[in-house]
Amino acid sequence: MNKLYIIGTFDTKRDELLYAKQVAEEAGAETVTVDVGTREASPGADVPASTVAACHPDGAGSVLGLFDRGAAVTAMAKALSIYLAKQENIGGVLGLGGSGNTALATEAMRSLPIGVPKLMLSTVASGNTAPYMGPNDIAMMYSVVDIAGLNAISRTVIANAANAAAGMALNQRERSGSSRPLGMTMFGVTTDCVTQLRAVLEETHDICVFHATGVGGQSMEKLADSGYFTGLLDITTTEIPDLLYGGVFAATEDRFGAAIRTGLPYLGSVGACDMVNFAARDTVPEKFEGRNLYVHNANVTLMRTTEAENREIGRFIVSRINRMEGPVRFLLPLRGVSALDAPDMPFHDPHADAALFEEIRAGWREAPNRRLVEVDAHINDPAFADAVIENFNSISA
Q: What is the mean pLDDT of residues 156-169?
A: 96
- Domain 3-170 top-level CATH class: alpha beta
The pLDDT tens digits of the residues spanning 337-396 come to: 999 999 999 999 999 999 999 999 999 999 999 999 999 999 999 999 999 999 999 998
Residue 176 has what pLDDT?
A: 54
* Cβ atoms of 119 and 161 closer than 8 Å: yes
CATH 3.40.50.12020 placement within the chain: 3-170
pLDDT at residue 192 in the model:
97
Q: What is the pLDDT of residue 191?
A: 96
Residue 294: CA atoms inside 13 Å, Cβ hemisphere, count?
17
**pLDDT of 86:** 94
Identify each DSSP E strand in 159-314 by its residue range: 181-186, 206-211, 231-236, 266-271, 275-278, 293-297, 300-304
> Could you read off the pLDDT of 171-227 as tens digits, one per residue?
987 655 556 899 999 999 999 999 999 999 999 999 999 999 999 999 999 999 988
Task: Collapse the DSSP code of 243 into the 3-class scheme (helix H, G, I; strand E, B; otherwise coil) and give the result.
Answer: helix
Is 20 in contact with 94 (CB distance < 8 Å)?
A: yes
Q: How many CB atoms neighbour CB 344 within 10 A?
A: 5
Q: What is residue 179's predicted lDDT score, i.e. its pLDDT?
A: 65
> What average pLDDT does the segment 33-55 reach?
92
Q: How far apart are CA 82 and CA 30, in angstroms?
A: 22
β-strand pairing of 206-211 with 266-271: unpaired
Q: For residue 43, what pLDDT is reported?
A: 86
Tens-digit pLDDT profile for residues 113-138: 888 999 999 999 988 888 898 888 99
Average pLDDT, integer, range 138-153 = 94
Query: Could you read off the pLDDT of 297-317 as tens digits, one per residue?
Result: 999 999 999 999 999 999 999
Structure confidence by residue, pLDDT tens digits, 50-71? 999 999 999 999 999 888 888 9
Is 90 exceeded by the pLDDT of residue 170? yes
pLDDT of res. 157:
96
Task: Give the model's pLDDT for residue 178.
Answer: 52
Q: Answer whether 183's CB lies under 8 Å from 265's CB.
A: no
Could you report the per-residue pLDDT of 68-103, keeping only the tens digit for each?
888 999 999 999 999 999 999 999 999 999 988 999
- Cα–Cα nearest to 52, from 117, 136, 108: 108
Closest CA to 124 of 133, 136, 113: 133
**Average pLDDT estimate for 105-114:** 93
- CATH of 181-396 among 3.30.200.20, 3.90.1110.10, 1.10.10.10, 3.40.50.12030: 3.40.50.12030
Across the range 16-43, mean pLDDT stands at 93
- Specify whether the CB–CB gap between 166 and 28 falls below 8 A: yes
For the chain, residues classed under CATH 3.40.50.12030 are 181-396
Tell me what pLDDT residue 135 has: 85
Q: Which of 168-177, 204-213, 243-252, 279-288 has the lowest mean pLDDT?
A: 168-177
User: What count of other Cβ atoms lies within 10 Å of the Cβ of residue 359?
Assistant: 20
Can you tell me the distance from the alpha carbon of 244 to that of 253, in angstroms, rounded to the nearest whole number? 10
